Amino acid sequence: MSGAGPDWPGFRARFPALAGPGVELDNAATTHKPQAVLDALLAHYREANANVHRAGHRRARLATEAYEGARGRVARFLGRQREEVVFTRGTTEAVNLVARGYLEPRLRAGDVVVATELEHHGNLVPWQQLCARRGARLHLLPLDEQTRVVLPAALPEGTVFVTATRVSNVTGTIVDTEALLALARAAGVPLLLDLAQSIAHLPHDAATREADFVAFSAHKAYGPTGLGVLAGRRDALAEIAPVSFGGDMVVSVSAQSATFQPPLGLEAGTPPIAAAVAFVPALDLLDEAGAAALRAHELALLEQLLAGLGALPGVEVPGPRHAAERSGAVSFHVRGGDGRLLDPNVLATLLDLQGVAVRAGFHCAEPLVRKLGGPLLRASIALYSDESDINALLTALPEAIAAAD
Protein backbone atom coordinates (compact mmCIF):
# COMPACT_ATOMS: atom_id res chain seq x y z
CA MET A 1 0.00 0.00 0.00
CA SER A 2 2.72 2.49 0.92
CA GLY A 3 5.53 1.25 -1.33
CA ALA A 4 9.05 1.73 -0.04
CA GLY A 5 7.94 4.25 2.54
CA PRO A 6 7.67 3.84 6.30
CA ASP A 7 7.35 0.43 7.92
CA TRP A 8 3.66 0.61 8.84
CA PRO A 9 3.50 -2.92 10.32
CA GLY A 10 6.56 -2.02 12.39
CA PHE A 11 4.85 1.11 13.67
CA ARG A 12 1.75 -0.91 14.55
CA ALA A 13 3.88 -3.36 16.54
CA ARG A 14 4.94 -0.51 18.84
CA PHE A 15 1.41 -0.23 20.30
CA PRO A 16 0.84 -2.78 23.08
CA ALA A 17 -2.93 -2.31 23.04
CA LEU A 18 -3.04 -3.68 19.49
CA ALA A 19 -1.28 -6.94 20.35
CA GLY A 20 -4.50 -8.71 21.28
CA PRO A 21 -7.60 -9.49 19.24
CA GLY A 22 -9.96 -6.83 17.97
CA VAL A 23 -10.04 -4.02 15.43
CA GLU A 24 -9.68 -0.43 16.62
CA LEU A 25 -11.64 2.03 14.46
CA ASP A 26 -12.58 4.59 17.13
CA ASN A 27 -9.39 6.60 16.79
CA ALA A 28 -11.00 10.02 16.37
CA ALA A 29 -12.11 9.79 20.01
CA THR A 30 -8.66 8.87 21.28
CA THR A 31 -5.61 7.11 19.91
CA HIS A 32 -3.69 4.26 21.50
CA LYS A 33 -0.24 4.89 22.92
CA PRO A 34 3.06 3.48 21.70
CA GLN A 35 5.32 1.71 24.17
CA ALA A 36 7.68 4.69 24.14
CA VAL A 37 4.94 6.93 25.57
CA LEU A 38 4.12 4.40 28.29
CA ASP A 39 7.82 4.07 29.10
CA ALA A 40 8.22 7.84 29.32
CA LEU A 41 5.31 8.11 31.76
CA LEU A 42 6.75 5.42 34.01
CA ALA A 43 10.27 6.84 33.79
CA HIS A 44 9.09 10.29 34.81
CA TYR A 45 7.28 9.04 37.91
CA ARG A 46 10.15 6.74 38.80
CA GLU A 47 13.06 9.10 38.21
CA ALA A 48 11.85 12.72 38.13
CA ASN A 49 8.66 12.89 40.17
CA ALA A 50 8.76 16.47 41.42
CA ASN A 51 7.05 19.75 40.78
CA VAL A 52 8.53 22.11 38.24
CA HIS A 53 10.17 25.54 38.26
CA ARG A 54 10.50 26.17 42.02
CA ALA A 55 12.56 23.59 43.86
CA GLY A 56 16.33 23.25 43.48
CA HIS A 57 16.88 19.56 44.18
CA ARG A 58 17.88 17.01 41.57
CA ARG A 59 14.47 15.53 40.78
CA ALA A 60 12.94 18.99 40.51
CA ARG A 61 15.66 20.05 38.09
CA LEU A 62 15.09 16.92 36.01
CA ALA A 63 11.33 17.50 35.97
CA THR A 64 11.69 21.14 34.98
CA GLU A 65 14.18 20.38 32.23
CA ALA A 66 11.95 17.65 30.83
CA TYR A 67 8.78 19.74 31.05
CA GLU A 68 10.31 22.77 29.37
CA GLY A 69 12.02 20.45 26.90
CA ALA A 70 8.57 19.15 25.98
CA ARG A 71 7.41 22.71 25.39
CA GLY A 72 10.29 23.22 23.01
CA ARG A 73 9.56 19.91 21.26
CA VAL A 74 5.92 20.89 20.67
CA ALA A 75 7.06 24.27 19.34
CA ARG A 76 9.42 22.62 16.85
CA PHE A 77 6.67 20.25 15.72
CA LEU A 78 4.37 23.22 15.06
CA GLY A 79 7.02 25.44 13.53
CA ARG A 80 6.57 28.02 16.27
CA GLN A 81 8.67 29.47 19.08
CA ARG A 82 8.95 27.88 22.52
CA GLU A 83 7.39 30.95 24.19
CA GLU A 84 4.36 30.52 21.94
CA VAL A 85 3.29 27.19 23.48
CA VAL A 86 0.97 26.98 26.49
CA PHE A 87 0.14 23.62 28.05
CA THR A 88 -3.52 23.08 28.97
CA ARG A 89 -5.61 20.07 30.00
CA GLY A 90 -7.01 19.59 26.49
CA THR A 91 -8.35 21.30 23.38
CA THR A 92 -11.49 22.36 25.23
CA GLU A 93 -9.57 24.18 27.95
CA ALA A 94 -7.41 25.86 25.33
CA VAL A 95 -10.46 27.14 23.44
CA ASN A 96 -12.13 28.32 26.65
CA LEU A 97 -8.94 30.13 27.65
CA VAL A 98 -9.05 32.16 24.44
CA ALA A 99 -12.81 32.71 24.69
CA ARG A 100 -12.73 33.86 28.32
CA GLY A 101 -9.29 35.42 28.57
CA TYR A 102 -8.85 37.00 25.16
CA LEU A 103 -12.18 37.68 23.50
CA GLU A 104 -14.60 38.24 26.38
CA PRO A 105 -12.94 41.46 27.62
CA ARG A 106 -13.13 42.82 24.05
CA LEU A 107 -16.53 41.53 22.95
CA ARG A 108 -19.39 44.03 22.73
CA ALA A 109 -23.11 43.71 22.09
CA GLY A 110 -23.76 43.32 18.38
CA ASP A 111 -20.29 41.98 17.57
CA VAL A 112 -20.09 38.85 15.43
CA VAL A 113 -18.06 35.70 16.11
CA VAL A 114 -17.70 33.44 13.08
CA ALA A 115 -17.40 29.63 13.25
CA THR A 116 -18.64 26.84 10.95
CA GLU A 117 -21.44 24.28 10.96
CA LEU A 118 -18.80 21.54 11.30
CA GLU A 119 -17.73 22.38 14.83
CA HIS A 120 -17.29 19.93 17.69
CA HIS A 121 -19.03 21.07 20.87
CA GLY A 122 -15.60 21.99 22.28
CA ASN A 123 -15.26 24.70 19.64
CA LEU A 124 -18.93 25.66 19.53
CA VAL A 125 -20.39 25.79 23.03
CA PRO A 126 -17.72 28.16 24.46
CA TRP A 127 -18.53 30.70 21.73
CA GLN A 128 -22.29 30.17 22.12
CA GLN A 129 -22.06 30.91 25.84
CA LEU A 130 -19.73 33.86 25.37
CA CYS A 131 -21.98 35.47 22.78
CA ALA A 132 -25.01 34.92 24.99
CA ARG A 133 -23.28 36.61 27.94
CA ARG A 134 -22.14 39.59 25.92
CA GLY A 135 -25.11 40.09 23.57
CA ALA A 136 -22.98 39.23 20.55
CA ARG A 137 -23.97 37.03 17.59
CA LEU A 138 -22.50 33.67 16.63
CA HIS A 139 -22.52 33.25 12.84
CA LEU A 140 -21.93 29.75 11.47
CA LEU A 141 -20.56 29.43 7.95
CA PRO A 142 -22.86 27.02 6.06
CA LEU A 143 -22.03 23.73 4.37
CA ASP A 144 -22.71 22.49 0.86
CA GLU A 145 -24.32 19.12 0.11
CA GLN A 146 -20.99 17.37 0.72
CA THR A 147 -20.43 19.12 4.10
CA ARG A 148 -17.73 21.36 2.70
CA VAL A 149 -17.64 24.81 4.29
CA VAL A 150 -18.95 27.51 1.96
CA LEU A 151 -16.61 30.44 2.41
CA PRO A 152 -17.96 33.93 1.68
CA ALA A 153 -16.19 36.58 -0.34
CA ALA A 154 -15.86 38.53 2.89
CA LEU A 155 -16.70 37.98 6.53
CA PRO A 156 -20.01 39.35 7.88
CA GLU A 157 -20.04 42.98 8.92
CA GLY A 158 -19.19 43.32 12.58
CA THR A 159 -16.98 40.20 12.73
CA VAL A 160 -14.42 40.47 15.52
CA PHE A 161 -13.19 36.86 15.75
CA VAL A 162 -13.06 33.73 13.59
CA THR A 163 -12.67 30.12 14.67
CA ALA A 164 -12.91 26.81 12.84
CA THR A 165 -11.96 23.19 13.02
CA ARG A 166 -9.43 22.11 10.42
CA VAL A 167 -11.06 18.67 10.11
CA SER A 168 -14.56 17.55 11.10
CA ASN A 169 -14.60 14.82 13.70
CA VAL A 170 -17.84 13.51 12.13
CA THR A 171 -17.35 13.49 8.36
CA GLY A 172 -13.59 14.01 8.17
CA THR A 173 -14.23 17.05 5.94
CA ILE A 174 -11.07 19.15 5.53
CA VAL A 175 -11.64 22.89 5.85
CA ASP A 176 -9.72 25.28 3.60
CA THR A 177 -8.05 26.97 6.55
CA GLU A 178 -5.62 28.91 4.36
CA ALA A 179 -8.57 30.61 2.65
CA LEU A 180 -10.15 31.22 6.05
CA LEU A 181 -6.89 32.77 7.28
CA ALA A 182 -6.93 35.08 4.26
CA LEU A 183 -10.50 36.16 5.09
CA ALA A 184 -9.54 36.85 8.70
CA ARG A 185 -6.46 38.80 7.68
CA ALA A 186 -8.48 40.86 5.18
CA ALA A 187 -10.92 41.74 7.97
CA GLY A 188 -8.12 42.38 10.47
CA VAL A 189 -9.52 39.90 13.02
CA PRO A 190 -7.91 37.02 14.93
CA LEU A 191 -8.27 33.37 13.92
CA LEU A 192 -8.29 30.29 16.17
CA LEU A 193 -7.99 26.85 14.58
CA ASP A 194 -9.09 23.66 16.31
CA LEU A 195 -6.48 21.10 15.21
CA ALA A 196 -7.71 18.24 17.39
CA GLN A 197 -8.66 16.08 14.39
CA SER A 198 -5.82 17.14 12.09
CA ILE A 199 -2.70 17.32 14.22
CA ALA A 200 -1.88 13.60 13.77
CA HIS A 201 -3.16 13.33 10.19
CA LEU A 202 -2.32 16.28 7.96
CA PRO A 203 0.87 18.19 7.13
CA HIS A 204 0.98 21.69 8.56
CA ASP A 205 -0.15 24.46 6.24
CA ALA A 206 0.32 28.21 6.34
CA ALA A 207 -2.78 28.60 8.50
CA THR A 208 -1.62 26.19 11.21
CA ARG A 209 1.73 27.98 11.32
CA GLU A 210 0.39 31.53 11.16
CA ALA A 211 -3.04 31.55 12.84
CA ASP A 212 -3.24 33.74 15.92
CA PHE A 213 -4.17 30.68 17.99
CA VAL A 214 -4.24 26.90 17.45
CA ALA A 215 -5.45 24.26 19.89
CA PHE A 216 -5.21 20.48 20.08
CA SER A 217 -5.06 17.53 22.50
CA ALA A 218 -2.18 15.10 22.95
CA HIS A 219 -4.41 12.05 23.36
CA LYS A 220 -5.57 12.32 19.75
CA ALA A 221 -1.94 12.25 18.62
CA TYR A 222 -0.70 9.10 20.45
CA GLY A 223 0.11 11.00 23.63
CA PRO A 224 -1.40 10.84 27.13
CA THR A 225 -4.82 12.10 28.13
CA GLY A 226 -5.13 15.26 30.20
CA LEU A 227 -2.75 17.34 28.07
CA GLY A 228 -3.63 19.99 25.53
CA VAL A 229 -1.77 22.71 23.70
CA LEU A 230 -2.68 26.30 23.02
CA ALA A 231 -0.14 27.83 20.67
CA GLY A 232 -0.27 31.34 19.32
CA ARG A 233 1.60 34.38 18.23
CA ARG A 234 3.52 35.78 21.15
CA ASP A 235 1.77 39.14 21.02
CA ALA A 236 -1.64 37.44 20.88
CA LEU A 237 -0.87 35.21 23.88
CA ALA A 238 0.29 38.30 25.80
CA GLU A 239 -3.21 39.75 25.39
CA ILE A 240 -4.92 36.78 27.10
CA ALA A 241 -5.94 37.58 30.66
CA PRO A 242 -5.56 34.52 32.91
CA VAL A 243 -8.88 32.92 33.86
CA SER A 244 -7.49 30.55 36.51
CA PHE A 245 -5.16 31.72 39.23
CA GLY A 246 -2.76 30.03 41.61
CA GLY A 247 0.82 29.00 42.09
CA ASP A 248 3.70 28.71 39.60
CA MET A 249 2.12 31.09 37.06
CA VAL A 250 3.17 34.36 38.67
CA VAL A 251 6.10 36.63 38.01
CA SER A 252 5.57 38.34 41.36
CA VAL A 253 2.86 38.62 44.03
CA SER A 254 2.10 41.24 46.63
CA ALA A 255 -0.65 41.19 49.23
CA GLN A 256 -3.01 42.93 46.81
CA SER A 257 -1.82 42.15 43.27
CA ALA A 258 0.09 39.79 41.02
CA THR A 259 1.81 39.93 37.63
CA PHE A 260 1.83 37.27 34.93
CA GLN A 261 3.66 36.55 31.70
CA PRO A 262 2.92 33.83 29.14
CA PRO A 263 3.38 31.01 28.69
CA LEU A 264 3.68 30.22 32.43
CA GLY A 265 1.25 33.01 33.25
CA LEU A 266 -1.50 30.95 31.61
CA GLU A 267 -0.61 27.70 33.41
CA ALA A 268 -2.06 28.00 36.90
CA GLY A 269 -1.12 25.41 39.49
CA THR A 270 0.76 22.17 38.98
CA PRO A 271 0.74 21.50 35.24
CA PRO A 272 0.35 18.09 33.53
CA ILE A 273 4.07 17.44 33.85
CA ALA A 274 4.21 13.70 33.18
CA ALA A 275 1.80 13.95 30.27
CA ALA A 276 3.86 16.70 28.64
CA VAL A 277 7.09 14.74 29.04
CA ALA A 278 5.48 11.58 27.64
CA PHE A 279 4.08 13.46 24.64
CA VAL A 280 7.58 13.91 23.26
CA PRO A 281 8.00 10.31 21.99
CA ALA A 282 4.56 10.56 20.36
CA LEU A 283 5.72 13.59 18.38
CA ASP A 284 8.94 11.76 17.57
CA LEU A 285 6.86 8.92 16.14
CA LEU A 286 4.84 11.29 13.97
CA ASP A 287 8.00 12.90 12.64
CA GLU A 288 9.54 9.48 12.01
CA ALA A 289 6.52 8.46 9.94
CA GLY A 290 6.54 11.76 8.07
CA ALA A 291 3.48 13.91 7.42
CA ALA A 292 3.41 13.33 3.65
CA ALA A 293 3.81 9.55 3.96
CA LEU A 294 1.20 9.41 6.73
CA ARG A 295 -1.26 11.32 4.56
CA ALA A 296 -0.70 8.90 1.66
CA HIS A 297 -1.15 5.93 4.00
CA GLU A 298 -4.40 7.41 5.29
CA LEU A 299 -5.75 8.23 1.84
CA ALA A 300 -5.37 4.63 0.69
CA LEU A 301 -7.36 3.43 3.71
CA LEU A 302 -10.03 6.10 3.26
CA GLU A 303 -10.46 5.14 -0.39
CA GLN A 304 -10.81 1.48 0.61
CA LEU A 305 -13.34 2.35 3.32
CA LEU A 306 -15.45 4.68 1.16
CA ALA A 307 -15.54 2.19 -1.71
CA GLY A 308 -16.47 -0.68 0.60
CA LEU A 309 -19.22 1.22 2.38
CA GLY A 310 -20.57 2.48 -0.92
CA ALA A 311 -20.99 -1.10 -2.12
CA LEU A 312 -23.14 -2.15 0.85
CA PRO A 313 -26.94 -1.89 0.45
CA GLY A 314 -28.59 0.56 2.81
CA VAL A 315 -25.38 2.36 3.83
CA GLU A 316 -25.41 6.15 3.39
CA VAL A 317 -22.18 8.12 3.81
CA PRO A 318 -22.55 11.91 4.20
CA GLY A 319 -19.59 14.15 3.50
CA PRO A 320 -17.17 14.60 0.63
CA ARG A 321 -17.32 11.93 -2.07
CA HIS A 322 -13.57 11.93 -2.59
CA ALA A 323 -11.07 10.72 -0.01
CA ALA A 324 -8.75 13.61 -0.87
CA GLU A 325 -11.23 15.99 0.78
CA ARG A 326 -11.35 13.93 3.99
CA SER A 327 -9.10 13.02 6.86
CA GLY A 328 -9.43 10.46 9.60
CA ALA A 329 -13.14 9.85 10.06
CA VAL A 330 -16.02 8.45 8.00
CA SER A 331 -19.53 8.42 9.48
CA PHE A 332 -22.54 6.70 8.00
CA HIS A 333 -26.20 5.80 8.40
CA VAL A 334 -27.61 2.34 7.75
CA ARG A 335 -31.16 1.72 6.51
CA GLY A 336 -32.93 -1.57 7.02
CA GLY A 337 -34.95 -3.46 4.46
CA ASP A 338 -38.03 -1.33 5.14
CA GLY A 339 -36.09 1.91 4.64
CA ARG A 340 -35.94 2.95 8.29
CA LEU A 341 -32.69 4.07 9.87
CA LEU A 342 -31.21 1.38 12.08
CA ASP A 343 -30.10 2.38 15.58
CA PRO A 344 -26.34 3.06 15.35
CA ASN A 345 -25.85 2.15 19.01
CA VAL A 346 -27.29 -1.31 18.37
CA LEU A 347 -25.08 -1.69 15.30
CA ALA A 348 -22.01 -0.58 17.25
CA THR A 349 -22.74 -3.17 19.93
CA LEU A 350 -23.20 -5.90 17.32
CA LEU A 351 -19.93 -4.90 15.66
CA ASP A 352 -18.20 -4.96 19.03
CA LEU A 353 -19.40 -8.54 19.54
CA GLN A 354 -17.51 -9.32 16.34
CA GLY A 355 -14.41 -7.57 17.64
CA VAL A 356 -14.74 -4.30 15.70
CA ALA A 357 -14.72 -1.06 17.71
CA VAL A 358 -16.48 1.93 16.14
CA ARG A 359 -18.35 4.87 17.64
CA ALA A 360 -22.06 5.69 17.54
CA GLY A 361 -24.15 8.73 18.36
CA PHE A 362 -23.85 12.50 18.03
CA HIS A 363 -20.04 12.56 18.30
CA CYS A 364 -20.12 15.78 20.38
CA ALA A 365 -21.32 17.61 17.27
CA GLU A 366 -25.09 17.48 17.72
CA PRO A 367 -26.08 20.40 15.46
CA LEU A 368 -24.09 18.93 12.57
CA VAL A 369 -25.28 15.37 13.15
CA ARG A 370 -28.92 16.45 13.35
CA LYS A 371 -28.41 18.34 10.07
CA LEU A 372 -27.13 15.07 8.57
CA GLY A 373 -30.20 13.14 9.68
CA GLY A 374 -29.47 11.97 13.20
CA PRO A 375 -27.01 9.75 15.09
CA LEU A 376 -24.36 8.04 12.99
CA LEU A 377 -21.88 5.21 13.12
CA ARG A 378 -18.29 6.41 12.77
CA ALA A 379 -15.15 4.56 11.74
CA SER A 380 -11.91 6.46 12.17
CA ILE A 381 -8.36 5.48 11.30
CA ALA A 382 -4.92 6.13 12.72
CA LEU A 383 -1.25 5.67 11.90
CA TYR A 384 -1.45 2.03 12.98
CA SER A 385 -4.59 1.22 10.95
CA ASP A 386 -4.23 -1.11 7.96
CA GLU A 387 -6.24 -2.82 5.21
CA SER A 388 -7.15 -5.71 7.48
CA ASP A 389 -8.96 -3.32 9.85
CA ILE A 390 -11.08 -1.95 7.02
CA ASN A 391 -11.76 -5.44 5.69
CA ALA A 392 -12.84 -6.58 9.15
CA LEU A 393 -15.39 -3.76 9.39
CA LEU A 394 -16.71 -4.36 5.88
CA THR A 395 -17.04 -8.07 6.62
CA ALA A 396 -18.71 -7.63 10.02
CA LEU A 397 -21.10 -4.85 9.03
CA PRO A 398 -23.50 -6.91 6.83
CA GLU A 399 -23.91 -9.43 9.65
CA ALA A 400 -24.61 -6.62 12.14
CA ILE A 401 -27.12 -5.06 9.77
CA ALA A 402 -28.92 -8.40 9.31
CA ALA A 403 -29.12 -8.89 13.08
CA ALA A 404 -30.40 -5.34 13.70
CA ASP A 405 -32.89 -5.19 10.83
Choose the catalytic residue: 38, 151, 296, 364: 364
Question: 313: which residues sit within 8 A by CB, 6+ positions away?
Answer: none
Query: Side chain identity at 70, as an amino acid letter?
Result: A
pLDDT of the residue at 2: 41
pLDDT digit string, tens, across residues 68-112: 999 999 999 999 999 999 999 999 999 999 999 999 999 999 999
pLDDT of residue 250: 82
Give the C-alpha separation, 46 to 54, whole Å: 20
Q: Which domains does the chain have, with CATH numbers?
A: 8-30+290-404 (3.90.1150.10), 37-288 (3.40.640.10)
**DSSP assignment string, 92-137:** HHHHHHIIIIIITTT--TT-EEEEETT--GGGTHHHHHHHHHHT-E
Handedness of CA 195, 199, 205, 209 (dihedral sign): positive
The pLDDT value recorded for residue 251 is 83
Q: Containing H/E element for 160?
A: strand 159-165
Tell me if 342 sits within 8 A of 404, measured CB to CB. yes
Q: What angle do CA 158, 162, 167 make, to 5 degrees?
A: 150
Note the pLDDT tens digit of each residue in 177-236: 999 999 999 999 999 999 999 999 999 999 999 999 999 999 999 999 999 999 999 999
pLDDT at 253: 83
pLDDT value at residue 181: 98
Q: What is the DSSP string of 56-88?
A: -SHHHHHHHHHHHHHHHHHHHHHTS-GGGEEEE
- Which pLDDT score, from 0 to 100, does residue 382 have? 98
Q: Whole-model pTM above 0.85?
A: yes
In the residue annotation, 131 being an active-site residue is answered as: no
3-state class (DSSP) for residue 143: strand
Residues of the chain with pLDDT under 70: 1-4
Instruction: Give the pLDDT score at 152.
Output: 97
Cβ(365)–Cβ(197) under 8 Å? no
